[in-house]
Amino acid sequence: MTLWVDADACPAPIKELIIRAARRLRISAVFVANKYISVPESGYVSSIRIATDPEAVDVYITQNARKGDLVVTQDIPLASTLVPEGVIVMSIRGELFTESNIGERLSIRNFMHDLREAGGITPGPAAFGSKDRQRFADTLDRVLTRLLRAGTT
C-alpha cells in the first residue's frame, strides 16, 4: 500500500501527520507536487516534483495509484477517477470519498464551478482549523488501521 498525497495545497499540519504515520507504520508516503516539497530523509517518505502543467499531478497519481492505496487530495475530479478503481480517497478535512458520495460531491463541485464561470460569487472554503486537523487525524488512523489489518501493505 502506498499513501499518495496531492501535495500542492496540502496544509503543513496534514503533511506532518502523514509523515509521522508513514514512519510509525512503516508505509510508503509519496508527496506529489508541481513545486519542490521538503520532506525529511526517510525510507518511507518521498516527494516527486512534476511538470508545472496544472493537471500533471492528477495524471501522475491516477497513473500510479493502485487498488488499496490511499490518496489524500482536495481535488474532487481526481477523487472521482480514483474511487471507482478501488483507491481509497480522503480530503485534507478527513472526508472519505466513496462510491456512494462521489457523484454528489462532483455534481456540487461542477455546479459551483459553473456558477463562478457565469460571474456568480460563491463563498470559498472555510479556513482550515484544529477541528479539521483532528478529523483528518482520526480518519487517517481509522483507514490505515483497516488497511493494515486487511494486509494490504
55-94, pLDDT tens digit by residue?
999 999 999 999 999 999 999 999 999 999 999 999 999 9
Q: What is the mean pLDDT of the chain?
A: 91
Cell numbers that stand for 63 in this block = 497513473
Confidence bin at 33 (pLDDT 50/70/90) = very high
Q: Tell me the average pLDDT across 129-137.
A: 96
% of the chain residues with pLDDT over 70: 96
Instruction: Give 25's contacts (C-beta < 8 A, 6+ positions apart).
Output: 144, 148, 153
CATH number belonging to domain 2-150: 3.40.50
State the Cα–Cα distance between residues 109 and 78, nearest whole angstrom. Answer: 12
pLDDT at 92: 96
pTM: 0.88
pLDDT tier at 109, thresholds 50, 70, 90: low
Domain map (residue ranges) of the chain: 2-150
Quote the pLDDT of residue 137. Answer: 98
CA distance 132 to 127: 9
Q: Which amino acid is at 69?
A: D
Pairing state between β 2-6 and 28-33: parallel
Q: What is the pLDDT of residue 102?
A: 83
| More confident: 118 or 87 | 87
pLDDT in tens, 37-49: 999 999 999 999 9
Listed range (27-31, 117-121, 126-130, 140-144) with the worst mean pLDDT: 117-121
| Cell numbers 502506498: residue | 2
Cell numbers 458520495 label which residue? 101
What phi, psi does 125 have (nearest 5°)? -70, 155
Is the CA virtual torsion 32, 38, 39, 43 positive or negative? positive
Residue 152 has pLDDT above 70, yes or no: no
Separate counts of helices (H) and strands (E) for the chain: 5, 6
